[in-house]
Chains A and B, each alone.
Chain A
């Protein structure tokens, strides 16, 4: 036995052969389709992700195509990666007080945790479904309002639920001379 052991050790090709058999088996089984394959034909084929998948963020809008965000910065406050940069300003629309003049997300820093979505009081930011994003320069991963709100993939359907319906039922009780600005 001792001799046999030393022989097998010395003749490593036995082990190598074992490995080859393993590879060969997988090759043949895959070829004839006995086992499940782990690769797919991307991009022709695509995986189906869970409904809760968190991809690139979406900024929602009001029905009049204005941004729904009020620049309260709760998303930026809540963001663990500190990847959200907002510059608030007076909105050009006189009925709206505050709006984000700049809303940027650094996708390279983002960890796609979805805390921003949870922090938002007005459903202005959601985690989207997109995950394909390739750029040559790191700088291009900082995306702004234009991309987050109006990229073609969204097909303009990103209307904030907060603004979809006028939830306040007007009663005739309080007749006010004042107009409410927001």
Chain B
């Protein structure tokens, strides 16, 4: 069973997960900005974090009562992009929030990390929760939010405990609560545990879930920056994005922008899984080659050849080994290969992998996780799975490949959120890039007739 498969099995069941069992020692090729102190024992506690320079950024902002506009400009200047998947510039997102204060504003931290192949936020939540909390307080200050919420994935029980303790510690130290550090800014932070739905990691789905409703994504417009949580202006940021904020405030936007490429600045944490020797989380400067990452994680298992990479979590279209050769780890380069950097969940497939089986595996996940709101996704994910099932069961007809393409094509861009695209786009890319494997299944199916 592939790594993806085992991950999918895990996400589809409610389980209490203990601490993450990963070797986080720095590997050559890594540039650690966020994960600099990740190996320091007890870094998840506030004292250790402060001894390593924690909460300096918050003090810098609040004690000098930094101008909000300027703070947002600073974040805009760093060009840091949302690390949750869409890659939207964070500074701009904050800037969309109305500057007036007639409605309460909210900052939500999206810690509902459920994309198969992505587990970088878990490292941050379990090891560096204060970095995220510090980023959240700064972000809340910037958008004038009096309350913020950490929406954490239900299965992250251990991480939830760590974050809960961390929030309490921050209250005790006076970083949260009334009149923080004498600045007059008051802020409350809450932890909210999800109940195990992938869709609640979608921005508006998360808002619905937090409001106590069924975790259904909402129609846009209105966008959350105008009408989000409880119909008030809301910013939803990924854990990694928020964790970047203290570093940017401490070292300046220019220092951050020095890393990476002009459009994809800074570093990115990659969750590496699949057929590699050392799966894990690696922080690599944007713009480095894929080879750097592959070397850092010890190359493909068993000395086999690389077949393909799914670069941005399971919902990203596949990239073949050949296309990988000149691919660099930034948003633009991966987009030019028809895929996306997404959440940075790199899934490596070696030459022994059966692409059709991989796709079916993904289809099972997305069929299970479709929220059922929009018809093309609700019915389409099931249909795609059924067609793929007929492939793997050798019951496919010749026209099924075309049907699979047509079905996928008609799911893309037809729904409220992008869950339908998340299976339809990979499906199309798998068919486009490995048509011979689908045809092989078709040939095996020939002669058998199937009446449904």
Interface residues of A (CB under 8 A from B): 167-169, 171, 173
Contacts and interface: CB of A to CB of B under 8 A. Distances in A.
A173 B451 contact: no
Nearest to B449: A169
Contacts of A168: 451
Nearest to A173: B389
Contacts of A167: 451
A142 B451 CA distance: 43
B445 to A, nearest CB: 14
A169 B389 CA distance: 16
A166 to B, nearest CB: 12
B291 interface: no
A168 B393 CA distance: 18
B451 A169 contact: yes
A167 B451 CA distance: 9
A177 to B, nearest CB: 16
- Return the 6 tightest CB-CB contacts between A and B, nearest first: A169-B451, A173-B389, A171-B452, A173-B386, A169-B452, A171-B450
Contacts of A173: 386, 389, 393
B197 to A, nearest CB: 21
Nearest to A171: B452
A173 to B, nearest CB: 6
A33 to B, nearest CB: 60
Interface in B66-97: none
Given A168-B451, A173-B389, 4 more contacts: A169-B450, A169-B452, A171-B452, A173-B393
A169 B452 CA distance: 6
Interface string B389-415: 100010000000000000000000000
10 contacts: A167-B451, A168-B451, A169-B450, A169-B451, A169-B452, A171-B450, A171-B452, A173-B386, A173-B389, A173-B393
Interface of B: 386, 389, 393, 450-452
Contacts of B393: 173
Nearest to B389: A173
A167 B393 CA distance: 21
Nearest to A169: B451
A168 B450 CA distance: 11
Interface centre among A168, A169, A171 (most CB of B within 10 A): A171
A155 B242 CA distance: 82
Contacts of A171: 450, 452
A168 B389 CA distance: 18
A173 B393 CA distance: 10
A171 to B, nearest CB: 7
A173 B388 CA distance: 12
B132 to A, nearest CB: 41
A141 B386 CA distance: 54
Contacts of B386: 173
Nearest to B386: A173
Contacts of B452: 169, 171
A21 B151 CA distance: 113
A132 to B, nearest CB: 43
A167 B452 CA distance: 9
A168 B452 CA distance: 7
A151 to B, nearest CB: 36
A23 B253 CA distance: 124
Contacts of B451: 167-169
A173 B452 CA distance: 11
A138 to B, nearest CB: 50
A21 B393 CA distance: 87
Contacts of B389: 173
A41 B335 CA distance: 91
Nearest to A167: B451
A150 B175 CA distance: 87
B48 to A, nearest CB: 51
A149 B118 CA distance: 66
A173 B383 CA distance: 12
A169 B390 CA distance: 14
A173 B450 CA distance: 13
A157 B67 CA distance: 91
B395 to A, nearest CB: 8
B140 to A, nearest CB: 46
Interface centre among A167, A168, A169, A173 (most CB of B within 10 A): A173
A21 B77 CA distance: 124
A174 to B, nearest CB: 8
Contacts of A169: 450-452
